[in-house]
Structure 1
Amino acid sequence: MTVTDTNASPQQTGTGTLIINILEYNDQAPEFLPHTNITIDEERPIGTFVMALLAKDQDDAIAEYSLPYNPNNYFAIGFQTGVLSVSSRIDFEKIEQTYFTALVYDTGVPRLSASTTVYVTVRNINDNSPIFTQTSYTARINEGESAGKSVVTVLANDADKGDYGVVRYEMKDPLNRFLINDTTGEITVAPGAVLDRETTPQIDVQVTAYDSPLDASVRRFTNVRVYISLDDINDNPPVFTQSNYVATIIETVPVGIQVLQVFATDADIGYNAEIAYTITNNTGDPNGFFSIAEKSGRIRVAKSLLRNSGVYTFIVQARDQDGNGPYTHTAHVQITVLEATNSPPRWIIPPDQNMTVSVLENQYLGMIVYDVHAEDSDKGNNGIIDYGFFAGGIFTNQTNEFLINSITGVISARIVYDREKVPRYVLLLMAKDRGTPTPLDATRYLTIQIKDVNDNIPKFPQLQDGSTRPIQITVSDNVNVGDKIGEAIATDDDENPKIYYYIIGGNEKGKFSLDKMTGVMKLAAAVDSVQQKQYILDVHATNNVSDYTVITNRRKRALSPDIVQVIINIRNTNDAPPEFEESSYTGCISTRAPIGQSIVTVFAKDQDSSGGIQYSIKSGNRDDGLEIGSNTGVIYNRKLMADFISRGVNQFNLVVRATDKQLSDESDVLIFCNTRRNEVELVITQPPLEVRQFVDQIKTTFESLKNSDGSSVFKFVCISAVKDHVTSGEQQDSYWSDVYLSAISSTNYIYTGAQLLSILNTQKARNTEPFDLLYIKSLGVADDEPTYVDGTPAMVVMIIVLILLFFIIIFVIVACFCIRKSKQNMKQNLIQKRNSDRLQQPVPPIVIENFDPVMYDNKGYVPEDPAVQYATVQKTFIETRPREPVPQEQVIVGPESIDAVIRDNDDSSESSPGSTPPTPRRLVEPEVEDFRIETEVYEE
């Protein structure tokens, strides 16, 4: 370009270059390449590449991509690349199709964009496994069921659709006892299956559910266990443990004694295994000298065998289903009765069985304990008696504690007895003659009771180093004065000890008081944790009611077993929870117990509470069969236990809770239900009234039994009943007792009666002393239900009735007395009223000629009849009662001739008619007074 200056001379010009840039106008929008429909598999991982959305622009570059419409955010797109990926879970079972809108911008000016809609089809895959409706299945069928019997139906569901959601079933049973329908899941008994409960009581099989039956390559599986229990049917006969039973006895044995016991077993269970015993062929015993107990199989002497020696053979039969079943088994019994050549000795002293004699402890060696004596009517060697003890299965003249003179029968002490170690001994005395060929003997139990002497001081619990264990007590500072805060209890090994408690140190401020009889400590004055947080007291326990012993040396106090240190901590809030005395409790209840029967009592203490602990059952109370007293902690039954036993429930595993305000503690309680089939019958040669006082001792004795390895035989022993003994003749004997006992093992297994009897017999064979101490005569399975009624409740009712009658009689006597008194008062009031009316009426003057009556000491007397006689009450003072006075003849005076003059007994004081008589005066104060009424008539 040239520029010229036209006014210049010479002409001037200039040249320059002009550059023109042509700018583009954005008139072309970007365009997506065609991507309308895509298909993807479900359940693709997050971030999986789906596709690349590509766009082009004729005049500008692509700036960015976005997804303005993206339901559920299934997808994400690269900001600059347009790459599409999965951003959230895509489940075919929830959505089968979807779509989204993509938007693209270019870099031109003005900025242009384009959009496209992409339709997505979700492809189904097999991503869900079948799921059974139960984690396991249980079923019950009878053993020996026929083929085709339906057992149980399993069911599984698959969330997939189509073929992937179709479920099929298969089962693995190596013995081919069951079949399963692959479509319905029904399990049935297979043809030829052998289902025997006695061999296999429970069968468990595995069932597999799988999907996708048309494509095995993607198939998914799930397994479940099926537990099939076989119920018993009566398919086994009873079998005797021996085919022949043999016994030998002497003809002098008493009637009712047990000769032997037959026993049969049945592989079945329950009612099918209940066996009844009978004698089916008594041709060898036509006179019925022997009988058999239907339940227990005990063979006893039914009649006297004197002069009936010989060999008796007969057949016994065992039948199942309590004697009503189809299966039986027999055994042969042979009993030889020997002829007695002499009579047994007869005890004279002690005169009674189970007699008790008392001996003081801490005496001397050789002390004479007792002198026994027996007689034998035989002559020669048959009548010579040797005395001894039957201990450890042998006849001996001494034990570890006693020595008996075999000739004289004098029992003496071999040791110095200590009641605190052994409170009593039970001796089985034996008087044995020297008869041939077999000596005869007579036994008698004798109990030696060791009486206590005060040879032990009270003791508090001690630590391993011999010092007393300090008592820790925590008291809130808001406890009321007079409330119980704790106790210091000592024990004394002496019998029936009297222990008195005294605070001998640490209570200088008088904050605490101690009941010297009970050891209960109470707050005597208010305490404050701010002023003093701890008090240390010394408490002394003694047998002396007035013991002021003070041991000043602290070290001596710690070593003295009868002095304990009580540490009392004071706190200002309720921060101590209640604590159960035991971490677990065990109890039992019989199926025969009524509703409301107390089973076991739980107890919790709260150091900072004076009461108010509430008890409740947290868990384990099936069908609300049990209840606990909210204030007492007594657990009792709300329903009959027989209902639970019939449903197979024989135990309750409870968790009980003790709550004090917001704090609580828990404890486990095991309660088991015992039936007569779980019990053993103990025959104890003591009356029931005495046995009931030693129930705890019986339980403790059996719970302390040990196995050979030192472990406990029983975890818990239960005594359900103590009743009068029933003899073999079904007669009630109130001098002996039948005790029914059951037990559980350490694994909480409830023993059957037969198992428990076997264990006890084993323990007795190992050591007879515990059984002898308890006067146990025999053991047996408690099969026979007693047919008598315990007389104790009737006696209680009779006593109550007598008390009521006594109070009724007292009430009647009091009522009669009150009625009589009321009638007397009414009569007296009526007489006074009548007399008052007469006095108010005007009386005409009466003139009596030639008559001057005088009344002595009779002030205020009012006559009731017109014709009267006047009398005086004279007091005659005598030391002895005089004779009765001779009655005088009465003089009847008419009213027209009476002129009454009243004067005092003193002749010197006269009164005019109508004046008030003077008050009578007593002349003498005698020791004995006799009051008589004398009638005197005076004439002028």
Structure 2
Amino acid sequence: QTNIKLDRDRASVVTLTVHVVDVTATPQQTGTGNLIINILEYNDQHPQFLPYNNVTIDEEQPIGTFVMALLATDQDDPIAEYQIIQNPDNFFAIGYQTGVVSISSRVDFEEVEFSQFTAQVWDSGTPRLGNTTTVYVTIRNINDNSPIFNQGAYTVRIPENSKGGKFVTNVFATDKDKGDYGVVRYALDSEETRFTINNISGEIFVAPGAKLDREELRELDIQVTAYDSPLDAVVRRFSTVTVYITLQDENDNPPKFNQPEYLQQIIETIPIYTHVLQVFASDPDDGNNARLQFSKVPGSGDPDNFFAIEPTNGRIRVDRSLLRNSGTYVFHIMARDEGGSGPFNSTAKVTIIVLEATNSPPEWTIPPLDNMTINVLEEQYLGMLVYDVEAKDSDRNDNGIIDYGFYVNGVYTTITNEFRINPITGVIRAEKVYDRETRDRYLLLLVARDRGDPFLETTRYLSIKILDVNDNDPKFPTNSNGETKEIQFEDIDENKPVNSSLGRLLGSSFEAKDIDDAQYSKVFYYIISGNEKGYFRLIPETGDLILTKRLDREEQSVYLLDIQATNNISDYTVIRSRRRRAMDPSIATWRIQIKNANDVRPDFTQNLYHGCISVRSSLGQSILKVEAVDADSVGSVTYSIQQGNRDNAIGIDSRSGVLYNAVLMNSYGGQTFDLKLRATDQGTLYHNTTALIFVTEPTRQVKLVLKQPATEVRQFFEQIKKSLQKLTLQNGDFIFDYVCATQIVDHVLDDGQTTSIWSDVYISGIRRNYNGASYYIYPTTELLNLLNQQRSANSDQFDMLYIQNIEAGNAEKNYLDRTPTMVVMILVIILIILALLFLLLACWCIRSRRKQKEERLRYKSSFRGGYDPSFQQVPEFKIYDNSGFQNDEPVPREPMYAKVGKGRLDERAPEPIPQQIEEINVEIRDASPDSSPPPSPPPSPKDTPRLSEPAEEDYRIETEVM
């Protein structure tokens, strides 16, 4: 027995020299033997990981990035594999053989700051030993997110002339990163001097000394930059946003006349209220701040108020009669902003010279009134006659000759951009084709001037109003490519009541617009295509689409109506214009999407189903398949059995509609299941039908022998069934209500062999009983007689069905069910093959074992020199069987010494360095004088570890026991 625990790493082979002494013999007898003990390898050392407990990685590293290499060592065997057994965040993967840990999924510091995983290693020894280690991973934050503003752009309005420090707006951005990487700071462009920003809060202010003048720049835009990581500019990330600043007007500009002085000459005979001069002033401010009011400056001249200025338009008129008041009148006029209540004003000097009437000025006859309005049509032609003016002068010679012209900004002329006047005839003609949609009114200051010296003239205002013509078609809203937008309101339920409104164009975003005047901009809508079936009616005046017929989504789910907008309520062209013109803005497509409603029940494809099943059928045998069709697309149809399912013997697949036997049918022979089936859609609609399931048995069937292969018979069996069901008795009654086949197989010959050229069809015949409430399955004899009689009377019909013979359908005798036989044969063949494989494997193992023994014996012989192989013939005994030995007296122990020699062992793994073993004292004594211990046999080859050819040097320990 072992005295201490064996350690193969210290010594793999122990050789003991054993001396046996017979102390009872005279003289003493001594026997010596060598005991070689091979210590077998036993995997008792677990692999150990090198200490890797903590590691730090950056977030957002690519998949597959190296993290660390987990290394493990084993004093016994090589490392077999590594694996991760706990990976709660699924961040890491490990190489199966290398132990290299890499990143397997996205690592985001903002979600997980610390992680861990547990790795396991296995050695290749027997038994396999493993070990685990837990690695704690610290995820290092990186700047992987840019700041994001809470708005895509900022819009703000501030008054112009805002002082420095005026708050403008506040921008705000966030950064998903943590720590310094998530701290956001703000900055403006370095060239921006008008505004400042608080780099922490994002508040924008007007910069000190900034000049914000709306009259110079109405709108401003500045770029605000948000950046993170204020402490580390190397990894800093940026984003920008635009702040649009609109300057609100302030009344900070005075009005200004277009000239500082105005001069005009008139005759004292000029009529009262005649406009003699037009002054102009402007104000760069906006809105009410620029609305001017004109007035005379009190005390500046014209104390008798012969002249007055109209406050809104700046026209100066004669307010009192100037007869016998000739002379020069000088006064000042004022223009004040904010409609006369503003803080700013401007003045101009007006000089009017009133001449004595040496001759009379011209007098206007046409137009008869000052500021008269005439109407002119737009879209005419160049040179069109606008008006014919006329004035009279009773003077003679040149004083009575009149020239006609215009005053434009105080300058006399006969032509403007819009009009031309004949100075002799006074005929005014058009200088352009007028467009009312661009400008609808013109004001002319007519001048009739004589040729006297100085000349006398009379002015008169003529207002020309441009009348609209229907020169613009209505237009639907268009896309950027010029095509009209598709009209689409809410989807329509297919159950929408008739006469319901499906949408209204008038007032909607799809309304067609006409830029003509009111009398020509009335829009009427018509359907020009897509309504061939008359489901819709469009009210022309409002564009209301009315449903005229009940919709059916199963018939059509989308309607596309081409709608034309026109100004003519009786526009018959829409009837002829069935084809939509490309890019025509007066035509748009109205899409009507019909929503599905569960309004159609599912319908079975048959009102009555028949099926047969044999009493010998296995559990779950398919009987027949029912099918229901649902025209709605709401969902699938589910099937169920409502009535007639005795003992729940028949089951149905709720999805496929396949009927099958839920129990074995051997107790239902000859019976009929009258099942009420139901098909239900996803809503509440359903449809019922009837399925008759007949349970057949061998005593109620006949065999038809057909001269056709079974594969082809299965294809046209329905035709055979229909032909048999049409057979009638002499009284005209049908013999069968239903014929079913239980088996279609290859034909069985008389000798029991099968042929695939012919086929056997086992059928059963069913007819309804006279009471109509039950069914009768013909017994074999009756069915055979009926069919033979029909065959005799209708041989041609049976021959057309390739029926060679009609026999009794005793399936036990005639039908050879080869399926179980084939299964058994296949199993037997598989077992035989497996047995042969095991036999070959055993032979190979025995042969290999024998070769190993021979190699070990050869090796031992060559290793110890004079070892006698015949020593193996000694009968085997248990090496340490000393069951009869009793040690009554102690034997002095002598020291044990070791002999060390060199040997060669397996190349696969070096042996450990020899260690000094403890002393072993062995005493062998027989208590019986008649018995002597048998010599110890050499180690059995089967107990000797397998050795390969020596490959490298090692030390072997031989121990001799004295």
TM-score, structure 2 as length reference? 0.40
Higher CA-based Rg: 2
Higher relative contact order (CA 8 A, sep 6+): 2
